[in-house]
Amino acid sequence: MKTKPFLLATAGSTVDGRNIDDAMLEQMASSYDPKTYGARLNIEHIRGISGDKPFRAYGDVLELSVGETEVNFNGKTEKRKALFGTFDVTDDAKQLNDAAQKVYPSIEIEPNFAGKGYAYLMGCALTDSPAAIGTERLAFNRALPGTISLTAETSGVAAAALEFPSPEPDANDAATEVKGFFAKLTEMLSGSAPKEEPKQPAAPANPPAFDAATFAADLGKTLETAFAKQADANKAALDALTARFTKLEQDVENAANPNHHNRPPANGPTGDNLRAEF
């Protein structure tokens, strides 16, 4: 969803005592190229390592420009150099804005980009507490079909509109209109109306009421039959297993070990036997 240009920051002192000079804004506007280095939208200047919420990317900065704006300081108007930006925002950014969360932009400046000696926009955060003065509050609303508008609540700052292309015509609607046109043309040439397609009979206005008692009785019978069948199957399996175990027990008792030999009778020690001591 592409926006129109709106105010990102003004030159001069920031609310936390830092300074943005005119040259920085002009250099960022003239040098910015997404193909060289694309600045993305983040939350509170935090870049997540995954694509999951809440620290995923919320869109891209497409282009920058400079102009002038007026800022009101306690009743006195001050003209300032202003940086304007065009965004391509995601649906997540729209949802945050609908909840009145992270409604201000906060730019990220590299004063000496790649050692080239000029300032460059590295990113832009969606925040609730920007340092730059005169930033516009993002307020998305579907005022017109296919349009999202962006307004400014900062005193003395002109509102910018965040508008998107109108949706493409619905192909199905166009096909319906063409089909209707040819149907009327056929009727005019033939002198008779085209045959109507048969309509499906309408459902009864008052379907039968749900009978809880009948449903409970049928369910009880079904469960009783299922449990009885399962009990019979379990008993048959247990009886078969018991019979096999009994037979196996009898076979073990009756079977003789072919490797077994009876010990010869002991006749006592003889003179030929030596005693072994360990």
Q: pLDDT by residue (tens digit) across 199-228?
A: 666 655 565 665 667 767 777 788 788 888
Whether residue 199 lies inside any domain: the answer is no
Task: Tell me which residue range forms the domain holding 71.
Answer: 6-149
Whether residue 91 lies inside any domain: the answer is yes
pTM beyond 0.75, yes or no: no
CB atoms within 10 A of CB 122: 16
The reply to whether 45 belongs to the active site is yes
How is residue 2 annotated by DSSP? B
Give the count of domains, the chain: 2
* DSSP E strands, 116-232: 120-127, 141-144, 147-149
Whether residue 254 lies inside any domain: the answer is no
Which of 127, 149, 171 delimits the end of a domain?
149
Which of 149, 170, 186 delimits the end of a domain?
149
Q: In which residue ranges of the chain is pLDDT below 70?
A: 136-212, 215, 256-278
The owner of tokens 């950014």 is 93
pLDDT at 140: 42
Tokens at residue 98, please?
A: 């609908």
Whether residue 161 lies inside any domain: the answer is no
Collapsing DSSP to helix, strand or coil, 178 comes out as helix
Q: Please say whether the beta carbons of 108 and 122 come within 8 A.
A: yes
pLDDT at 27: 97
The reply to whether 106 belongs to the active site is yes
CA–CA gap between residue 114 and residue 33 (Å, rounded): 14
Collapsing DSSP to helix, strand or coil, 20 comes out as strand
Whether residue 190 lies inside any domain: the answer is no
Nearest 5°: phi and psi at 123?
180, 175
Collapsing DSSP to helix, strand or coil, 7 comes out as strand
CB atoms within 10 A of CB 111: 12
Sequence-separated (6 or more) residues with CB below 8 Å from residue 94: 1, 140, 148
pLDDT at 108: 92
Whether residue 15 lies inside any domain: the answer is yes
pLDDT at 240: 87
pLDDT at 243: 87
pLDDT at 127: 86
Set 33, 45, 98, 155: catalytic member? 45
CA–CA gap between residue 268 and residue 94 (Å, rounded): 106
Collapsing DSSP to helix, strand or coil, 72 comes out as strand
Set 16, 52, 170, 272: catalytic member? 16
116 and 226 part of one domain: no
Whether residue 52 lies inside any domain: the answer is yes
Exposure string (b/e) for 223-232, b if CB count within 10 Å is 16 or more? eeeeeeeeee
Whether residue 81 lies inside any domain: the answer is yes
Count CA within 13 A, CB hemisphere, residue 100. Answer: 0
